[in-house]
Structure 1
Amino acid sequence: MGYSPHRSLNELYQKESDRVDICEVIEPAFPRVDAAVCLVASNEYAPFASVVIQSIIENAKREKNYDIVVFTDDMFLYNRERIEAQAKELCNISIRVMDITKIIENLNFYTWAQFTPNTYYRLLAPDLFAQYPKVIYLDSDIVVNHDIAELYVTDLEGYYMAAAYDTHVVAYCTQTPPLEQRAYNKETLKMKYPEQYFQAGIALYNVTLLNETFETGYLIHEATKYQLKWLDQDLVNMLFQDKIKRLPNKWNVMIANVPYATDEYYLPADLRKEYYQARLDPYIVHYVGKAIPCFAEDPDLYEFFWFYARKTIFYELLLQKMCQKNTEYTSMPHVHELYRRINELETALAGSAAVPKPSLKKRIKALLMPIFNLFFPKGSNRRYRFKRSYFRLRGWEI
């Protein structure tokens, strides 16, 4: 009997779940592993994980062995099989998609905005890769443009992990005057050097040292105790102070949603120079904050993403996502309602001779901001896109 189109996706997943690999301690896929790589991906992000893996494959060396494992708690079987099939003709690359549902089913994590509990699952990597000396963790919103095995050989003696600076957050701390992020790093995270804040989306974990220092499950359970601004990334910066080796920025070139207004402009001169040089030959491009080219209105360094995306089975689906994103915004009913209210209020207030021009703007803002903030939270991509659309409607430039 076939699946009814009216069944929920969760029901479909449950039907498939008895046919997937349940994740326990992972055994190496090769006698000699030249790069062990861990990703986390939901079913929604399966196409993006596929692009990451394809980018690793395209830059891999034939004489090296690459052991790739994807953690998931909801990926459908057909997407798992598509991802694993990317290496079916390659004897030096292993791809396994493994279910971590039983490991995290009783854990609760703090989230906000676009973040999901999936971001915490990378903290499982040192536990589940206990049979390996090291493991590289990669977010699913990146592309690798270099041989990942070169990152794997990084010397980690005395360090829990290696990572690049989070150039966005560092810029928040180093601009004049600094944003509240600097005080947060000092007061909440207890960082001695608040400007030395690392990005956890690309990280090389020293599995041996971590498992010698912490009990199994320590990191993932510790994460349930906090409500931190940048979630598990804050936790790692807090717990691993002085034990994180800085990677060159080329291993994590962070991309902004607004390429002509990058946070990196506010970096100290040496770090700013390193960032812009890394953009010329990025080893890893990181499309943070929904800056993936099929979502972003003004995609930055998009050519790297599409070069690898078009080589995956998900290419047409990614194009569809891009088309949906471009039409979704202007078709949202609340956007049209907000436009209507703006026009009505401006007409009514402009007709009152007793209201001077400055007060007009203040009254419009006071009336609109509650509903505006409800549908378009501060800092969200939706808010930015609305502002651009509204200003263009009015014939203004931004």
Structure 2
Amino acid sequence: MRQTVPIFFAIDDNYAPFLSVALCSLIENASKENNYKIHIIHQELSEVNRRKIASLARENFEIEFCKMKDTIEDLQVNMGLREIYQTITIYFRLFLPDMFPEYDKGIYIDSDIIVPGDISELYNIDLEGNLIGAIADTSTCNIPPFRTYMEEAIGIKPAEKYINSGVLLMDFKKLREVEMGSNFLRLYNKYHFDTIAPDQDYINAMCHGKIKYLSDVWDAMPTEGKAVLENPKLIHYNLTDKPWQYDEVQYESYFWEYAKKSEYYQEILNYKAAYDQTKKDIDAKETNEMLEASIKIANSEKATFKKVYESGEKVRLLA
């Protein structure tokens, strides 16, 4: 019997073109020995974008669109989700195990990616009893303000253990057993932690000690000063390092190879042509604000994941 590999993305209309490119690469390079179920979670998605993305389906690739509001409301009322729905949507990946109880394991991926490798190889990695498999966020851990934030606010030392949540291999069964969704809500409602990367920070704080660290070939991120990997299996254009916005981005040739095969190719070219200096200045401003916020939160008197953990309250989901 062929195994089914469930893969989850979340997009809006603005990201539909880039998901299309990601899916072109994923479908082309995945083993034909498996079936794949692509779940595209969205708040609103136009009929045109749904049609274009749905057209990528193949005999062994099923594509399903899931409206986030409907899916979240299917969860048990006693989780308290409905009262904070507008905020909770940015944390949806913490609820994937509860949203899809039919699966014991699944892959979540951001949409700003290319998959030159066989995605089923990622799915078949043995998590060895850990809650998730992920890749250390080497693109940020050597930036002093971010490193200070990881160590002093999240409580992760060394900071190289802080993972990027854009690529997650998740043991849904174990995550349901340790009640990740409910424990997140407990912490969220009580503390409303200041965060730099909201869902990523909660995942790091809660899953720390139960993470299988995967090879960076599964989350190769453009990083200034870091050598390009020769054979990446998944490329993640994290933060502002996106070839549809900037020139000379590491791994950009992979993106354009598959962009040319996408129904959105001309639209993507137009988007890049319109990405002017004003937008680049906004990127730089937002990056600086993140750096400043990192130091501010790390030095704050307010509750942080680290302080709460050191007080003896349960933060980590040690199964």
TM over 0.5: yes
The match for 1:59 is 29
Equivalent-residue separation in structure 2 for 1:378 and 1:312 (angstroms) = 30
| Greater mean alpha carbon deviation, residues 214-223 or residues 307-316 | 214-223
The match for 1:309 is 259
User: Structure 2 unaligned runs (5+)?
Assistant: 73-80, 290-319
The match for 2:179 is 214
The match for 1:135 is 106
C-alpha displacement of 1:74: 1.7
Equivalent-residue separation in structure 2 for 1:218 and 1:81 (angstroms) = 38
C-alpha displacement of 1:375: 9.9
Whichever residue aligns with residue 62 of structure 2, its letter is S
Secondary structure class of the residue paired with 2:56: helix
| 1:204 aligns with one of 154, 164, 169 | 169
The match for 2:61 is 93
C-alpha displacement of 1:314: 1.0
C-alpha displacement of 1:121: 2.7
Q: Deviations over 1:280-310 (max 9, x none)?
A: 1111111111322111133221110111111
C-alpha displacement of 1:35: 1.7
| 2:206 aligns with one of 215, 239, 243 | 239
Secondary structure class of the residue paired with 2:161: coil
Equivalent-residue separation in structure 1 for 2:180 and 2:230 (angstroms) = 42
C-alpha displacement of 1:32: 4.5
The match for 1:68 is 38
Matched residue pairs, number?
A: 277
Secondary structure class of the residue paired with 2:25: helix
The match for 2:315 is none
Larger Rg: 1
C-alpha displacement of 1:380: 5.9
The match for 2:47 is 77
C-alpha displacement of 1:376: 6.0
Whichever residue aligns with residue 44 of structure 2, its letter is D
The match for 2:231 is 281
Equivalent-residue separation in structure 2 for 1:180 and 1:378 (angstroms) = 14
Equivalent-residue separation in structure 1 for 2:90 and 2:25 (angstroms) = 21
- The two structures have a TM-score, normalised by structure 1, of 0.64
RMSD after superposition: 2.7
Residues 171, 263 of structure 1: 8 Å contact kept: no
C-alpha displacement of 1:181: 3.0
- Whether 1:226 and 2:198 are equivalent positions in the alignment is no
Bigger RCO of structures 1 and 2 (CA < 8 A, at least 6 apart): 2
Residues 36, 136 of structure 1: 8 Å contact kept: yes
C-alpha displacement of 1:239: 0.6
Residues 169, 197 of structure 1: 8 Å contact kept: no
- Whether 1:167 and 2:132 are equivalent positions in the alignment is no
Equivalent-residue separation in structure 2 for 1:45 and 1:51 (angstroms) = 10
- Whether 1:146 and 2:117 are equivalent positions in the alignment is yes
Secondary structure class of the residue paired with 1:56: helix
Percent identity, please. 30
Whichever residue aligns with residue 129 of structure 2, its letter is G
Residues 40, 118 of structure 1: 8 Å contact kept: no
Counting only pairs closer than 5 Å after superposition, residues 18-37 of structure 1 correspond to structure 2 as 32-37=2-7
- The two structures have a TM-score, normalised by structure 2, of 0.78
